[in-house]
Amino acid sequence: MRLLSAILLGKFVAFLTKLFKLGGGSAAPGLYALSIEPDLVKKLALKIPKNVVVTGTNGKTTTAKMLAHFAKESNLKVIRNHTGSNLERGIASTIISYVNPWGKQKFDLGIWELDEAAFNSVAPKLKPDLVVFLNIFRDQLDRYGEINTVLKRWQETLKKIPSQTKILINGDDANILELASSFKGHIQKFGVKDFKIVGESIVHKKEQENLDFEAKDVKLNGLNGSTFQLKIENLKLKINLPLPGIYHIYDTLAAFASAYHLNLPIRRLADTLKTYSPAFGRVEKLPFGYIFLIKNPAGATQVFETIAPNTKSDDHLLLALNDNLADGTDVSWIWDGEFEKLKVQSAKLKVICSGDRAEDLAVRLKYAGFDPKKITIEPDLKNAFRQARSGLKGKLFILPTYTAMLELQSTLAKSGLKKHYWEESD
């Protein structure tokens, strides 16, 4: 009865949030339901034949969405927290939205992205068949602490994971490699040859790792994407990736490695990437430009490196920095992000800083070499977006933090430029 009551309450809250347009019901339903039945996720996840957990600082949503794409192309019925709500309440909300009042559902595969901290409490409840560790960078220091704190907690959690669970880790991140000593089962590694993102080392990487899944012969094609050769044991595949940036190659490797462990038809799936569309805000292409989520030094720097060579003098740049709980209340990370890489055509680019901490952004850009006279400060994101599109002849590059991205999504939906993110096809 308690589980039934929790599900019914969650469904009612979801109905109210959508009725009164308070959001997509990605967190509140689960929050209220868990107050009645704290074991809701544990009880309902057990009914899903296979579960995959994806965690890490950057790339969780892209990796999970791409794996879901592969699974659906293989005719599997998938459930996942596609809105990016990656705490336990988000998992609960997702499950509640798909089960009937008695908790019954028919899925072949659950794909769950988990926040770095939530992983420790939620992953054991999901009893995953496969866990993917993408990377570990400094992120929201006010919530997580330094890298070694996150790593230590992951190691403690891995000791509780059954040895038959398959573990995939980024073999190019020396910190992630430390997890191998904490797991009693078998771990496999993925990585990129030549073009590497090596992470923020707190440990010394003595030698090149032998990779089980590797990207070789990487060729970058600007904002159009990249090509590389995927090597899995004796299998070699040519991959045409429609997403730009080295960091997306890592996400793609993780998705293919996961698909391989799920016994999906790897060869055929390589061709399905041409129909893959990115998750909202993650290199999301709009008729007039792009949205690139930025949220920490490493991820932001990778975005800057990706877009800088592709900006032109008639392009506009809109950056939005918030300090809400979901963003991290400590915005000092912008001083570690290499905004200097973004200073391309800066003398001519129209630059607008927005969000709760727009002034902080403007100061950071000044020290990165941007001309302060060319920077407009407009804290109201809706107004900033309007100004950024005014007189636009080239492309508009929008770089928001998480809650600014959600606010922007709402503005785009209300103006008819796109659907709400929770209504988009997964």
Q: Point out which residues pair with 50 in neighbouring strands.
A: 109
Q: Point out which residues pair with 289 in neighbouring strands.
A: 286, 396
Catalytically annotated residue among 330, 356, 360, 426: 330
Place of tokens 């003398």: 347
Is 330 designated active site?
yes
Q: Point out which residues pair with 377 in neighbouring strands.
A: 353
Chain CA centroid to CA 272, Å: 21
Place of tokens 């866990």: 131
DSSP structural state of residue 347: T
Cβ–Cβ < 8 Å for 369, 343: yes
Do β-strands 226-232 and 235-241 pair in parallel, antiparallel, or remain unpaired?
Answer: antiparallel
- Using DSSP, state whether 402 is helix, strand or coil: helix
Listed in sequence order, the residues at least 6 apart from 125 whose beta carbon sits closer than 8 Å to its beta carbon are 39, 41, 42, 45, 88
Query: Around Cβ 92, how many Cβ atoms within 10 Å?
Result: 29
What residues are annotated to the active site? 330
